[in-house]
Amino acid sequence: MVYTTLFPKWWFRVQLTHAPSEKQPQRGSKTLLEQIRATCPTLADPEMAYYIPSWIMPNGDMQTIYLYTQHYRPAGCPVDFEREIFVFSDGGKAAVDWALPRRDQQNADSPLMILVPGIAGCSFDYYSRSFIKSIGHQPYGHQVVVLHSRGVNGVELATPIAFHGGMTDDLREFVQYIARTRPNAPLIGIGFSLGANILTKYVGEEGDQCRFVAAASVCNPFDIDATVNSMCAPTLKNRYLYAAALTKSLVQVFTDNEQVIMAGDVQLDRQAIAASRNINEFNEQYTAKIFGFGSARDLNTGGSCIQYLCKIKIPMLFINALDDPMCYRHTIPYAEIEANPNLVLACTRYGGHLAYFEGTGLSPWLPKQLSQFIQGMLDWK
């Protein structure tokens, strides 16, 4: 429990993966990595880039569980939102939460961060609030908007279609809306967990036409099929913690919107869906069928962002913890990231899933890294 004081400091150094400097994009006198090192030294400068977890909870399981408890303590990281209901072209609806104050209303050309939460996640989750608080205050003061998935955070489904880990159409339609209403605003995408997979896949699909100036991915599963299969392994942690919690959240979306879903054209077995014991079972009974995939495996494989990494044309930062108990180290695509000069991967030995607490006060390490990277990309000219 006190190993953070026993190991040498180099043990906690952030491990970077990127293309050789001669292949990286360059603006002015700096390559992409040089700009990140200059503006985000605690993430990329070899002399300063360390993540040392709090000795109080040094491993990924403890960090992840503690993060979950913080979702229910908004007073510990207060952020206020203004809600908008976004209506998609097919009639579907999703909650869009604008962090207050609304700076974009005074200056439509100011930078805007579009945040994509994790599976059934929301703006009130601690990782969202801590990032918003960091990027929204001095010295940054940037606007953040959170795009939720359909059927979550208090908005009922308006169509039988909910969401899946590779569904990029909703993000695409929302970004197009923002681009029309704020044509001169620099946009940056930030995705967490399954939202990171969606964001990464979208950026790759857009290629040269991507509207984002830059993007950041945190705790990305990359290969959904491999991740879900690992999560479905019959271990105690999966059965009673991680897979159980994620499956429960998916089943809850179904039960909350059962009447609308069952009224659709696709034949579904409501009892089998409600009885799903893991994510693959849920996807097999509901998600794959509703989206027209032949199986859960087809859904998972088709929705994975790993196949789109080579198509990304904007600067993109990936942050993953090697002890993440939900997005596993064996799914991290080092070779694919190194092959694309626009990508930089920062891996930490510890941090859990979206947690990254440090010090005796259990302060979040992650928001500072994201905020510095974002400002560095906005200033890179």
How many helices (H) and strands (E) are present in the chain, helices listed first?
16, 13
Residue type at position 67: L
Dihedral over alpha carbons 226, 232, 235, 237 (to 10 degrees): 90
Helix or strand (DSSP H, E) at 254: helix 242-256
Query: What residues are annotated to the active site?
Result: 193, 324, 353
User: 376 CB contacts (<8 Å, ≥6 apart)?
Assistant: 35, 36, 38, 39, 40
* Rounded CA separation 181/184 (Å): 9
Residue written as token pair 């979550």: 152
Token look-up 């302060």 returns: 363
Closest CA to 283 of 320, 330, 231, 239: 231
Give, for 372, the enclosing helix (H) or strand (E): helix 366-379
Q: Are 314 and 340 in contact (CB under 8 A)?
A: no
Whole-angstrom Cα Rg for the chain:
20
Question: Containing H/E element for 174?
Answer: helix 169-181
Residue 329: other Cβ atoms inside 10 A: 12
Closest CA to 168 of 117, 203, 210: 203
